[in-house]
Amino acid sequence: MDVEEAAGVFRVLSDPTRIRILTLLTDGGDRSVGEFSRKLRLGFATVSNQLRKMADRGIVVRTPRGNFAFYRIADPRILELLQWAFRVRGRRDGRLRTGL
């Protein structure tokens, strides 16, 4: 990965909505766009757009199942990076929270 690619990953991870989406995937499971929409109280199109951006950068993986698509974290090290970010900002336990 070159510097520009790394910067692109950090740009995608810099959005609060995308971080909230990722926190819903911390259990290692996968979720549909509809599940994210309901839990985060966001529109379907908004969530779909954010997931597409993360999938384009390899942060999440999209798996079609019938008429639905499910998303999961592509690499668990993404969660480690987010936990580190929370610790840096003073949250001692480093746990991810959705803020809901």
Residue 100: the pLDDT is 47
Enumerate residues 6+ apart whose C-beta is below 8 A from 83.
94, 95, 96
Residue 85: the pLDDT is 82
Q: What is the CATH number of the domain that holds 71?
A: 1.10.10.10
Order across the sheet with 68-73: list the strands: 31-32, 68-73, 60-65
Q: Is residue 69 part of a domain?
A: yes
Q: Is residue 73 part of a domain?
A: yes
Full domain range(s) for residue 24: 3-85
SS3 state at 69? strand
pLDDT in tens, the chain (100 residues): 689 888 888 898 899 999 999 999 988 889 999 999 999 999 999 999 999 999 999 999 999 999 999 999 999 888 888 888 878 766 555 555 555 4
Residue 82: the pLDDT is 84
> What angle do helix axes 3-13 and 44-56 make, rounded to 10 degrees?
160
Q: How many domains is the chain partitioned into structurally?
A: 1
Rounded Cα gap, residues 76 and 60, in angstroms: 10
**pTM for the full predicted model:** 0.81
Residue 42: the pLDDT is 96
